[in-house]
Amino acid sequence: MPFLEINNVSKSYPFRGVQKPILTNINLTMEKGEFVCIVGYSGSGKTTLMNLIGGLVKPDAGEILLGGKKVDGPSLDRCLIFQNYSLLPWLCARKNVELAVTQAFPNASRAEVTDRSVAALTKVKLGHALNRKPHELSGGMRQRVSLARGLAMEPEILLLDEPLSALDALTRSELQEELVRLQEHEKTTLLMITNDVDEGILLADRIIPLSAGPGATLGEAIPVTVARPRDRKLLNGDSAYHRDRKEVIHYLMSNGPRDIRAAAAKAKKATELTHNIMMTEVPGL
Amino acid sequence: MLGFLLVLVFWYISSKTWAKFLPDPIKTWEVSKEYIIKPFEKRGEMDQGILRFTWYSIVLVAKGYALALIFGTPLGFLLGMSKLFTKLFDPLIQVLKPISPLAWLPLGLVLFQKSEPSALFTIAICSMWPTVLNTAIGVRNVPQDYINVGRVLKLSKFKMLYRIYIPATLPYMFTGYRLSLGIAWLVIVAAEMLTGVPGVGGFLWQEYNALIYEHIILCIIAIGLVGFLLDRIMMFGEKRVAGFLS
């Protein structure tokens, strides 16, 4: 039995008096311990999908099952890491994490709660900024606090909504490694949304493209064939990487918003044209 | 400063031309200086230093204001959180809000039969509306992000209230508290006038009846300065609270 199962889920929101479909016929299955990346356009309903799995919003149709149980509201073993950090501005970094830890481990002592929180913040390299308020932290640091809050809760599945988008390249790669470690050692199931195809290939077991909205839907899963452990420095010379990347981008281009689709068609025509010219002219040479 | 000087000049000219019964600034100072130089002296029930009278008023306002906050804040939370509650009580509040303290006071006297409780009742009921309405607006404006954090962390209803709603609403609440204090101070004079409770407003009304017009001006100045100081103190608190949230 798959760990996470999404069956024919649809969601629409009222927009200027009419129901506007956001997601239609979403189907997804994930095994325990799997790392799946969803790659898609901004504004295509990725965050809505995360909120659905997180239990913050209810689907109009279809159902979401986690470990065989229907998702009906939020739960502490499904931890959602928000794209906009969502830290409480009146609490310092440590207190923000502690609030989550007290909820996830209700029997933990005061000292244990603090220890776990500090450990999680140290893991994301914020050991020096424990007592700073969110407004005293940079965007990237806030994102890391938000990540630490999720890690400290040790959930069964981490739902990550573009968690690394605001980070500099170095911190980003460090945290990517942390996510890989989490999957390998803690057997955490990870579902991550990203708009970075390369990040998906580096981290995920499978990449699932999300078509552009309105009424976005998930495409066929693309298994990442690059062997683990994956080294970002060697990725560029790996033929599997180029094959996977091409496949994801091909799906996104042909299922993108109308203007991108047109551009893709034009580009295709242009290549055909050059191809024809080449074909006709080469013999002439 | 120049503004104050211009008003003094205007006051002086007025007292010499069209307002013959208005004492001029110099005479006002001479008649009032006894009350200013010995501000805490008590010579009789209705003959005390100006700060002593002011202090009585401040104590009375503090009590009425405390009542306003104790009842107004939870009422604001209920209004902000429950649509049903808003539908039931919002029209009523809109009707009660514009009623003058002069109208509430006799009702207070009927209800409580004593001057102090009815003064407190009047101060509380007149000054609580900014607290109620601002708190309600604050609760309605708690960012969805914070509420989502609370939901994802499965906070209990109680924890949701004091870990999310109250801190997020605090700046709005404080704006309400500041406006409420301003109204409470406005109401005190009317309340004291009608009930005869010793205080700066009661003194003012007594001296009008005793034809000592200089003291009316003294009281007006004292009321204005105290009101200004109270507002400044609240503004400072408001800024601190806003800083805590940014």
Q: Given a cut of 60, is residue B68 above it in pLDDT?
A: yes
CB contact (8 A) between residue A86 and residue B145 = yes
Tokens of residue B47, six digits: 């003959």
Q: Which architecture does CATH list for B25-245?
A: Orthogonal Bundle (1.10)
Cβ–Cβ under 8 Å, residues B203 and B56: no
Cβ contacts (< 8 Å) between B168 and chain A: which residues? 90
* pLDDT at residue B231, rounded to an integer: 92
Cβ contacts (< 8 Å) between A100 and chain B: which residues? 153
* pLDDT at residue A270, rounded to an integer: 64
Confidence tier at B230 by pLDDT (50, 70, 90): very high
Q: Which long-range contacts (CB under 8 A, 24 or more apart) does A44-48 make?
A: A44/A210, A44/A211, A44/A212, A44/A213, A44/A216, A45/A11, A45/A210, A45/A213, A45/A216, A46/A161, A46/A162, A46/A193, A46/A210, A47/A83, A47/A161, A47/A193, A48/A11, A48/A13, A48/A22, A48/A23
* pLDDT at residue A281, rounded to an integer: 42
Cβ contacts (< 8 Å) between B146 and chain A: which residues? 86, 88
* pLDDT at residue A45, rounded to an integer: 83
When scoring B142, B151, B152 by the number of chain A Cβ atoms within 10 A, the one with the most, hence best to mutate, is B152
B127 vs B197: CA distance, rounded Å: 19
Write a three-state SS string for B6-75.
HHHHHHHHHHHCCCCCCCCHHHHHHHHHHHHHCCCCEEECCEECHHHHHHHHHHHHHHHHHHHHHHHHHH
Instruction: Determine the residue of chain A that is closest to B242 in CA distance.
Output: A90
Using CB atoms, which residue from B151, B153, B167 is nearest to A90?
B167
Percent of chain B predicted with pLDDT > 70: 98
For B116-175, write each residue's pLDDT tens digit.
Answer: 888 899 999 999 999 999 999 999 999 999 999 999 999 999 999 989 999 999 989 999
* pLDDT at residue A261, rounded to an integer: 65
Instruction: Give me the phi and psi of A81, to 5 degrees please.
Output: -105, 115
For B18-54, write each residue's pLDDT tens digit.
Answer: 877 788 877 787 777 777 777 777 777 777 778 888 8
Cβ contacts (< 8 Å) between A88 and chain B: which residues? 146, 149, 163-164, 167
Per-run averaged pLDDT (10 residues), chain A, 285 residues: 89 85 89 90 82 91 89 89 88 94 93 94 90 89 90 91 83 85 86 88 89 79 81 79 83 73 67 52 39
Q: How many CA atoms lie within 13 A of A223 on its CB side?
A: 5
Tokens of residue B205, six digits: 């009304």
* pLDDT at residue A128, rounded to an integer: 93
Please state the pTM of the whole predicted model.
0.79
CB contact (8 A) between residue B153 and residue A99 = yes
Q: State ipTM.
A: 0.79
Using CB atoms, which residue from A74, A79, A87 is nearest to B151?
A74
* pLDDT at residue A264, rounded to an integer: 66
Angle at B98 between CA B95 and CA B101, to 5 degrees: 120
Using CB atoms, which residue from A75, A86, A89 is nearest to B148?
A86
When scoring A92, A95, A101, A103 by the number of chain B Cβ atoms within 10 A, the one with the most, hence best to mutate, is A103
For B97-125, write each residue's pLDDT tens digit.
Answer: 888 888 888 888 888 888 888 889 999 99
Q: Given a cut of 90, is residue B72 above it in pLDDT?
A: yes
* pLDDT at residue A259, rounded to an integer: 63
